[in-house]
Amino acid sequence: NAGVTQTPKFQVLKTGQSMTLQCAQDMNHNSMYWYRQDPGMGLRLIYYSASEGTTDKGEVPNGYNVSRLNKREFSLRLESAAPSQTSVYFCASSEALWGRREQYFGPGTRLTVT
């Protein structure tokens, strides 16, 4: 099993460009999450999907959109990138929502917006 995979691993964008971060899991998990991690700060939740067909905003959703394409895949889109979105993005999945089951994390995508 590959676990949680993310693409790309690194990306540099110019302000105003758009891109989609891809995430897939092969553990048949119901719930998936997108986090960002900034230097000196804890991980912060951007969006989550409790189950296939549902998505909800987290703590810092502005500037992002998500799609739960199917049970395996959960993508994060930046429509018009801004320097404030420079961060490391982690996708995660879990069998059940939130703290009832442990979360499995992808390797992260390091995004720089210039």
Partner 1 sequence: KNEVEQSPQNLTAQEGEFITINCSYSVGISALHWLQQHPGGGIVSLFMLSSGKKKHGRLIATINIQEKHSSLHITASHPRDSAVYICAVRDNYGQNFVFGPGTRLSVLP
Site residues, partner 1 (CB under 8 A): 33, 40-45, 48, 56, 58-59, 88, 90, 92, 98-105, 107-108, 110
Q: Which is nearer to partner 1, 22 or 55 (CB)?
A: 55
Give least dist CB 17 to partner 1, A. Answer: 24
Q: Which is nearer to partner 1, 17 or 45 (CB)?
A: 45
Give least dist CB 48 to partner 1, A. Answer: 8
Q: Which two tokens stand for residue 2?
A: 């590959």
Distant-in-sequence, close-in-space partners of 11: CB < 8 Å, separation ≥ 6: 19, 21, 109, 110, 111, 112
Q: What is the DSSP letter of 4?
A: E
Q: Which is nearer to partner 1, 63 or 108 (CB)?
A: 108
Helix (H) or strand (E) segment spanning residue 82: none
Give least dist CB 98 to partner 1, A. Answer: 4
Q: Which is nearer to partner 1, 35 or 78 (CB)?
A: 35
Q: Select from 73, 69, 89 the least CA-distant residue to 28.
A: 73
Interatomic CA distance for residues 29 and 74, integer angstroms: 11
Partners of 34 in beta bridges = 47, 91
Give least dist CB 73 to partner 1, A. Answer: 20
